[in-house]
Each structure stands twice: as C-alpha cells, then as structure tokens.
C-alpha cells in the first residue's frame, strides 16, 4: 500500500539501508531507522508508523522479540520480523508476540512486498471487523469496552491531557489489566490508547491556537506534549500544517 509509514529496526546499518532502499522503491515511507532496542519505543511514539520491520537480534539488553511485545501492548502497531534465524526455539519466542509476518534473511524486494501487503491487509481486516460491530462493539465486553467504562476513560483523558496518561493508569481507572484494556479500547475506538490520546491532545491544541494568544510552547505543555517540537511533529502529521500556520489560517 503506497504511502504506508514504516519504521525499520535493524542494528546492522548496511542492512537497514538496503531495506530502506527497497521500501522507497516500492513507494513506502520510511519514518526512521532504530539500531538499539532502548530507542525503539521512543521512535514509535514520535513517528507513529503504520508498520514496524523488526530485526530479532538488537544491540542492548532487550531483543527484538521483547521490543515487539512492548510495541504490541502499548501501540498495537503491526510488527514483521526480519531475521536470519528460523530454528524452533526462535519461532516459539516469536509466536508469543503474535507477529504480522516473518521474513528470512537473505531476502529480496518481493519478499518484503508480500510480507508488508499481507500484514497491512490483516490489520485493515481487523479494523473493519471492529467497525462493523457498530454500537454493539461498545456495549459488549467481548468486542469492546462497555459504554460506561468507555465514557469514564474519555472523561479521564480529557481532564488529564497535560499529565502522563500511561496505559497502566487508564487501565486501573476501570479495574482492568493493561493487555485486556488495550485490546478492548482499540476494538471500541479503532485506535490504540496512545493514538487516541495523541489525537485528543492535538484537538485541544487546535482549540487553544484558535481561541487564545498563548505561546505555542505553553500550549504544548498544557496539552501534554514534551516540548513544542513534539507538538509540531504530531500536529503536522494529523492536521497537515504546523501549529503556527494553523493559528494564522
């Protein structure tokens, strides 16, 4: 799917550049390259990719399987593994993270294309299934959060946009485990918790930009962004223009 935003996680920079070249030729957008496990979560949060290509062996104490599991739990972003290992022990570890694909090295451009398109098709199919349930998705705990709990979360997010809205904090508000809450929330809204919070922060920023002369730095902090650059990154991605441009429209 042309225009798909992809983050590459690969600690061999030459291999990462090869993957980047393949993706660019296929009209995908490479939003970044992560070479260390400890930087992966930050880069996912900052770039909000549609897909992550993940090497299993990474620099640092955390391997690619652990990183993929964290990405799944926090962002619900599809992950495709790229690895030279196909032994049974590796496959067993990988299966626990419910990956959207698995590409063995050495690979070619067509291998990547097939894995990516299948992953995106699977992801879109999941979203369509959740959307097709309509109001029932909100009413049934099997296919989404009950409407009362969903409203509790919506109100809490709006009241605490300037604070740390972690998955753990929100799940505790409705007495659920983080994994269960994250899954039901996405079924109800079509977005991961993190994606929903970012969109709500951008919406609040839009209101403040329109209705006040407050400095953009102050708006960023009030809306829960780490700094003006963090606000600008997500604002432009979602709205299409920078905050300063939006204010003067």
Domains plus CATH for the chain? 5-130 (3.40.50.2300), 137-247 (1.10.10.60)
**Quick check: 224 and 200 in contact, CB under 8 A?**
no
**Quick check: 216 and 190 in contact, CB under 8 A?**
no
First to last CA, the chain: 32
The pLDDT of residue 119: 86
**What average pLDDT does the segment 90-96 reach?**
76
Condensed to tens digits (0 to 9), the pLDDT of residues 140-162 reads 334 688 878 888 899 999 999 99
The pLDDT of residue 169: 92
Condensed to tens digits (0 to 9), the pLDDT of residues 174-215 reads 888 888 888 889 888 888 899 999 999 999 999 899 888 899
pTM of the model: 0.58
Interatomic CA distance for residues 129 and 126, integer angstroms: 5
């Amino acid at each position: 799917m042309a225009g798909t935003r992809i983050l590459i996680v690969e600690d061999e920079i030459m291999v990462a550049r090869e993957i980047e070249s393949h993706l660019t030729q296929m009209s995908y957008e490479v939003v970044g390259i992560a070479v260390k496990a400890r930087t992966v979560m930050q880069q996912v949060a900052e770039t909000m990719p549609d897909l992550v290509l993940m090497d299993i062996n990474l620099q640092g104490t955390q391997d690619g399987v652990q990183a993929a599991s964290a990405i799944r739990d926090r962002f619900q972003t599809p992950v495709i593994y790229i690895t030279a290992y196909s032994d049974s022990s590796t496959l067993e570890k990988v299966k626990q993270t419910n990956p959207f694909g698995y590409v063995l090295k050495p690979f070619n451009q067509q291998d990547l294309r097939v894995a990516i398109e299948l992953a995106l098709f699977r992801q879109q199919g999941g979203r369509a299934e959740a959307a097709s349930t309509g109001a029932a998705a909100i009413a049934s705990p099997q296919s989404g959060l009950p409407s009362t709990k969903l409203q509790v979360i919506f109100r809490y997010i709006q009241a605490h946009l300037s604070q740390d809205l972690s998955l753990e904090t929100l799940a505790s508000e409705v007495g659920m485990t983080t994994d269960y809450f994250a899954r039901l929330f996405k079924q109800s809204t079509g977005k991961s918790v993190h994606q929903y919070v970012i969109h709500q922060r951008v919406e609040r920023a839009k209101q403040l930009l329109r209705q006040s002369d407050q400095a953009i730095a102050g708006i960023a902090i009030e809306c829960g962004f780490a700094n003006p650059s963090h606000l600008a990154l997500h604002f432009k991605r979602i709205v299409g223009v920078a905050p300063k441009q939006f204010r003067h429209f």
